[in-house]
Amino acid sequence: MTSGTTAPFLTEADIDEIALGAAVLGTGGGGDPHVGSLIAKRLIRLHGPVPLVAVDELTDDDFVIPIGGIGAPSVSVERIQAESELLAALHAIERAVGRKATAVMPIEVGGGNSMIPIAAAALAGLPVVDGDAMGRAFPEAQMVTFHLAGYGPGTTVLVDHHGNEVVSRPVDGGWSERIARAVTVEMGGGATMIDYAYGGEVVRECAIPGTLGLAQRIGRILRGRDADGRELRDDERIDALCADLDAVRLFDGKVADLQRSVDGGFTRGAAELVGVGADRGSAFRLDCQNEMLLGRRDGVLAAVTPDLIAVLDLATGMPITTESLRYGARVAVIAIPCHDKWRTPIGLETAGPAHFGYDVEWVPVEDIAQRSGAHTTDEEAA
């Protein structure tokens, strides 16, 4: 994945582009960034643009706070956050750790949690780090690059709209997830959370750099402008996006069958596609657990987690979530190579196919594409 080129400040005008790109990186899950984008735009309007700091610009004196929302999407769109939760959470971690925050960052760039750190940064007058700890969206709290490098969640903070603050020191990511879930239910199914708050040296080591800029580039292309500012027709956008991301256009098809069930906080299911256009005559199966995790073309592995699988509307390029997939939808399935941090033994153990119960071996999506001769955009880009 290439890193993003970013402006030094995020303004109101940048937010819709980042939100759209974040929905693509959400790979079908991660929550709708719409409410978060309204919060971020409003707070930037009231408090001014947010400085963007690159991961490699962080110094050892920095104290970086990943902040986001946890809980059910159905709660976050109804009982919208209290503005006070953002500062309360920042102040709570500062008090608990005894260190002043110097920057905030997204823990997860995919979906709605791309927006909350920008809103918090605007309100607190802090910069936001152009990077995150997933480079996508994942459903569980330990699926972060800090964990891959051996760092635990550290001091965690959960704050609600009443001003309740729960500060804990879970022994590992699994306990963090368990405690956070229990507290979140008592807080009414949603809360603002901080975990993995570390100094600049740890963030430099662990964070995936450039992911907010990446989200913005994706959003800009899907809204019809390429990296050089050239206008893109509707039908050029998906290919332009693949060229920019070194992504593989796996399959063009329409949804022919859907199975879906809600189980705990998870939407599990599968979609069967039949090919259209150049893919006519082939079939494709997508498996999802909140996020799209596994794609098979005519029964043969095409891409699997931790590589990113995104489903886009074939006509407009707009991302489609797992929940809004429906029969007859014309879609393009693309796969974006995940960051190298996930392509390690610990990365694959944490978020590879086996963890999600899929009986396939992970193979880099670009290798599969090359082997099968799928229309990767590498040649076009070269």
Partner 1 sequence: MAGRYRIGIDVGGTNTDAVILDERLDVVASVKRPTTADTGDGVAAAIDAVLAASGVDAALIGHAMLGTTHCTNAIVERRGLGRVGILRLGAPATTAVPPLEGWPDDLRAAIGDHAHLLAGGFEVDGRVLSPIDEDAVREACARMRGEVDAVAVVGVFAPIDESQEERVAEIVTEELGVPVSRSARIGSLGLLERENATVLNAALMQTLRQMAAGFVAALRERGIPATPYFGQNDGTLMQLEYALEFPVLTIGCGPTNSIRGAAHLSGATDALVVDIGGTTTDIGVLVDGFPRQSAHAVEIGGIRTNFRMPDVLSVGLGGGTIIRETADGTTVGPDSVGYRLPQEGLAFGGSTLTATDIALAVGGAEIDGLVAPAVPGAVGAAAWAAMREILEDSIDRMKPNAAPVPVILVGGGGIIAPTELDGVAELIRPDHFGAANAVGAALGEVAGQIEKIYRVDPTDQRASRADAAAEATARARLAGADPATIEVVAVEELPVAYSDGTAVLIRARAVGRLAA
Q: Which residues ranging from 319 to 338 are in contact with partner 1 (CB under 8 A)?
A: 324, 326-330
Query: Is residue 185 part of the contact set for partner 1 (CB under 8 A)?
Result: yes
Q: How far apart are CA 55 and CA 60, in angstroms?
A: 12
Return the residue of 12, 83, 140, 205 that touches partner 1, per CB under 8 A. Answer: 83
Q: How far apart are CA 201 and CA 124, in angstroms?
A: 22
Nearest distance, CB of residue 18 and partner 1, angstroms? 16
* Residue count (the chain): 382
Q: Which stretch binds partner 1 (CB under 8 A): 83-91, 100-108, 150-158, 215-223?
A: 83-91
Query: Is residue 39 part of the contact set for partner 1 (CB under 8 A)?
Result: yes
Return the residue of 21, 190, 209, 275 that touches partner 1, per CB under 8 A. Answer: 190
Q: Which stretch binds partner 1 (CB under 8 A): 48-56, 262-270, 342-350, 351-359?
A: 262-270
Residue in the block written with tokens 């797992």: 322
Query: Is residue 242 part of the contact set for partner 1 (CB under 8 A)?
Result: no
Nearest distance, CB of residue 314 and partner 1, angstroms? 10
Give the up-direction half-sphere exposure of residue 143: CA atoms within 13 A in the CB hemisphere: 19
Query: Is residue 346 part of the contact set for partner 1 (CB under 8 A)?
Result: no
Q: Which stretch binds partner 1 (CB under 8 A): 125-133, 170-178, 257-265, 350-358?
A: 257-265
What's the start-to-end Cα distance of the chain, in Å? Answer: 16
Inter-helix orientation angle 12-25/211-222, to 10°: 90
Return the residue of 38, 97, 270, 283 that touches partner 1, per CB under 8 A. Answer: 38
Nearest distance, CB of residue 328 and partner 1, angstroms? 4
Task: Enter the tokens of residue 201.
Answer: 């040296």
Nearer to partner 1, 70 or 157 (CB): 70
Return the residue of 77, 270, 346, 363 that touches partner 1, per CB under 8 A. Answer: 77
Nearer to partner 1, 330 or 343 (CB): 330
Return the residue of 7, 13, 149, 262 that touches partner 1, per CB under 8 A. Answer: 262
Query: Is residue 260 part of the contact set for partner 1 (CB under 8 A)?
Result: no
106-145 footprint of partner 1 as x/- string (CB under 8 A): -------------x--------------------------
Nearer to partner 1, 79 or 355 (CB): 79
Query: Is residue 270 part of the contact set for partner 1 (CB under 8 A)?
Result: no
Residue 129 sits at φ, ψ, to 5 deg, of -80, 135
Reduce the secondary structure of the chain to three states and give it as a string.
Answer: CCCCCCCCEECHHHHHHHHHHHHHHCCCCCCCCHHHHHHHHHHHHHHCCEEEEEHHHCCCCCEEEEEEEEECHHHHCCCCCCCHHHHHHHHHHHHHHCCCCCEEECCCCCHHHHCHHHHHHHHHCCCEEEEECCCCCCCCCCCCHHHHCCCCCCCEEEECCCCCEEEECCCCHHHHHHHHHHHHHHCCCEEEEECCCEEHHHHHHHCEECHHHHHHHHHHHHCCECCCCCECCHHHHHHHHHHHHCCEEEEEEEEEEEEEEEECCEEEEEEEEEECHHHCCCEEEEEEECEEEEEEECCEEEEECCCEEEEEECCCCCECCCCCCCCCCEEEEEEECCCHHHCCHHHHHHHCHHHHCCCCCCCCHHHHHHHHCCCECHHHHC
Return the residue of 136, 161, 204, 268 that touches partner 1, per CB under 8 A. Answer: 161
Nearest distance, CB of residue 32 and partner 1, angstroms? 9
Nearer to partner 1, 99 or 330 (CB): 330
Nearest distance, CB of residue 293 and partner 1, angstroms? 18
Q: Which residues ranging from 56 to 75 are in contact with partner 1 (CB under 8 A)?
A: 71-75
85-104 footprint of partner 1 as x/- string (CB under 8 A): xx------------------
Residues that bind partner 1 (CB under 8 A): 34-35, 38-39, 41-43, 71-75, 77-86, 119, 161-163, 184-185, 188-190, 254, 256-257, 262, 264-267, 324, 326-330
